[in-house]
Amino acid sequence: MIYARKQKQMITRLMEKGIKDTAVLKAMAAVPRHEFVQPGMEFQAYDEKALPIGFDQTISHPYTVALMTQTLQVTPHKRILEIGTGSGYQAAVLCSMGARVFTVERIGPLARRAAEKLSAMGFRFLSRTGDGSMGWTTYAPYDGIIVTAGAPVSPTSLLDQLTEGGRCVIPIGSEEGQMLTLFIRAGDELKKIEIEPLSFVPLIGKDGWNTSK
Ligand code: SAM
């Protein structure tokens, strides 16, 4: 496989950057990231960068995907809600780890393309097109919630959909840059841990940035 060497290099780089969760590394070594980028960009798919996927959106850096997934502490059968399906790559990594994946994307053509791709790869998941800033109450609660777009504040409706001990990883800040933040539910309390600064496209919706954008 012509991308195998690049994928191996990506895994080595992720380990050097501090990713330790072997299940995350195994999943990212298995999922063909080049199949989630736009035609003509396959050779850049394993580089440490975000790439355009159309509609002004991006597939996140490999390190961002690895860090967020590691922070979620995913194990088989955990119920994980992803907000911002985008290319479907993050969802594929979660499915590959054995999680039960629920994913929401606000841009219809992206949602459809990702769902077709994930299904063609044999992954099982549930997906929905719409504003995910308020979560997906139909299937709540979730053991993990991963928001792959930057929010102005922590949306309480999302955090209400966490199980006891559940973890939500979400970038919070301005539209220019955010702090990757982890919330862990403990009864009525939410423990908040700041992980590291990152930069994401905006979470657009009722509990995100202005819908007129
Ligand atoms: N996880 C994606 C992947 O693996 O390719 C990358 C996601 S991209 C950085 C962020 C995505 O969040 C975009 O596709 C964008 O349309 C979506 N998004 C933004 N606001 C949203 C909302 N309120 N509900 C659902 N999706 C949203």
From the list 60, 87, 96, 133, the catalytic residue is: 60
60 belongs to the catalytic site: yes
Q: How far is the CA of 150 from the centre of ligand 1 (A)?
A: 9
Annotated domain spans of the chain? 4-198
213, pLDDT greater than 50: no
Predicted local confidence at residue 210, as pLDDT: 81
76, pLDDT greater than 90: yes
- Taking the C-alpha atoms of residue 113 and residue 53, their distance in angstroms, rounded to an integer, is 10
Ligand 1 shell residues, CB under 6 Å: 57-60, 83-84, 86-87, 89-90, 104-107, 110, 131-133, 148-149, 200-201, 203-205, 208
Predicted local confidence at residue 154, as pLDDT: 87
Architecture of domain 4-198: 3-Layer(aba) Sandwich (3.40)
In this prediction, what percent of the chain has a pLDDT beyond 70?
A: 99
Predicted local confidence at residue 212, as pLDDT: 52
Predicted local confidence at residue 155, as pLDDT: 86
pLDDT tens-digit map of 172-197: 999 889 999 999 999 999 999 999 99
pLDDT tens-digit map of 141-164: 999 999 999 999 988 999 999 999
- Taking the C-alpha atoms of residue 170 and residue 182, their distance in angstroms, rounded to an integer, is 7
pLDDT tens-digit map of 93-138: 999 999 999 999 999 999 999 999 999 999 999 999 999 999 999 9
Q: How far is the CA of 57 from the centre of ligand 1 (A)?
A: 7
- Taking the C-alpha atoms of residue 181 and residue 168, their distance in angstroms, rounded to an integer, is 8
Question: What's the mean pLDDT when you consider all of the chain?
Answer: 96
pTM over the 0.75 mark: yes
